[in-house]
Amino acid sequence: RMPRHARKLRDHDINPCVAETDATTKCMDDNNYKKDMCTDYFLKYKNCRKFWYEIMMQRRRSGVKPEMPSAEERKKILESMG
């Protein structure tokens, strides 16, 4: 059994950046933990977190619940943006 915190990080409805997290981890594993080899992955992860944080803050200010859109709702948001 995974600890509750770890389960939350793997939950696509809670963590919008699971794919970016996994890609970064895989890159680090594949490149013997040389961070400079994975710069693009870190940047994609950082941009993902920043983007969804902005969405969450916007929803919080507007009183929308839940503050983090579900995985299905996020997919629609991204599709609407192209």
50 has pLDDT over 80:
yes
Spatial separation of the C-alpha atoms in residues 72 and 31, rounded to whole Å = 33
Measured CA to CA, the distance from residue 63 to residue 34 in angstroms comes to: 42
- 10 or 18, higher pLDDT: 18
pLDDT of 2-13, one tens digit each?
A: 788 777 778 888
Tens-digit pLDDT profile for residues 55-81: 999 999 999 999 999 999 999 999 999
pLDDT of res. 23? 97
